[in-house]
Chains A and B, each alone.
Chain A
Amino acid sequence: MADKGELIEIRWHGRGGQGAVTSAELLAQAAVSEGKYAHAFPSFGPERRGAPVLAFVRIDAMKPLKIRAEITEPDIVVVLDPGLLQIIDVTSGLKAGGMVVLNTRKQAEQIKQEFGINCPLATVDATGIARELLGVPITNTTMVGAVLRASGVVKLESLIEPLKHRFGRLAERNINSMKRAYDETLIKE
Chain B
Amino acid sequence: MADKVGIEVSVAIGDAVKLARADVVAAYPITPQTHIVEHLAELVASGELDAAYIPVESEHSAMSACLGAAATGARVFTATAGQGLELMHEVVYVASSMQLPMVMTVANRALSAPLSVWGDHSDVMSVRDVGWIQIFTENGQEVVDNVLCAFRIAEDRRVLLPVMVHLDGFHLSHMIEPILFPEQAEVDRFLPPNQYPFPLDTAKPVTMGAFAPPVIYSETKKAQEVNIRASQEVIIECWREFGDAFGRYYSPVEGYHSEDARVLLLTMGSFSETAMTAIDRMRDDGKSVGLVRLRLWRPFPFEEIRRAVKEAEVLIVVDRALSFGGPGGPVCSEVRSALYGEAKRPKVVSFVGGLGGRDISLDGFEAIVSRGMEIAETGSEREFEMFGVRE
Interface: B162 (CB within 8 A)? no
Q: Is the interface of A mostly helix, strand, loop or mixed?
A: mixed
Measured CA separation A44–B273 after assembly (Å): 18
Count of chain A residues with Cβ under 8 Å from any Cβ of B?
26
Residues of B within 8 A of A46 (CB): 31, 117
**A44 contacts which of B6, B118, B361 (Cβ < 8 Å)?**
B118
- Which among B3, B5, B6, B274 has the highest number of chain A CB atoms within 10 Å? B6
Interface of chain A residues 20 through 74 with chain B (CB within 8 A): 24-25, 28-33, 35, 37-42, 44-46, 65-70, 72
**A29 contacts which of B172, B174, B176 (Cβ < 8 Å)?**
B176
Interface of chain A residues 74 through 116 with chain B (CB within 8 A): none
With both chains docked as a complex, state the minimum distance between the C-beta of B139 and any C-beta of chain A, in angstroms. 8
A44 contacts B176, C-beta separation under 8 Å: no
Q: Which single residue of chain A is at the shortest CB-CB distance from B270?
A: A68
Residues of B within 8 A of A37 (CB): 178
Known: A38-B6, A44-B118, A45-B118. A69 touches B174 (CB 8 A): no
Measured CA separation A68–B138 after assembly (Å): 10
Q: Which single residue of chain A is at the shortest CB-CB distance from B177?
A: A39
A28 contacts B270, C-beta separation under 8 Å: no
B177 contacts A38, C-beta separation under 8 Å: yes
Interface: B328 (CB within 8 A)? no
**B359 contacts which of A24, A39, A66, A69 (Cβ < 8 Å)?**
A69
A66 contacts B178, C-beta separation under 8 Å: no
Measured CA separation A67–B177 after assembly (Å): 12
Known: A66-B276, A67-B273. A40 touches B176 (CB 8 A): yes
Known: A32-B4, A68-B274. 11 other contacts (CB 8 A): A35-B4, A38-B177, A44-B32, A44-B171, A44-B174, A66-B273, A66-B274, A67-B273, A68-B171, A69-B359, A69-B361
Using a CB–CB distance below 8 Å, which chain B residues touch chain A? 3-8, 31-32, 117-119, 168, 170-172, 174-178, 270-271, 273-274, 276-277, 357, 359-362
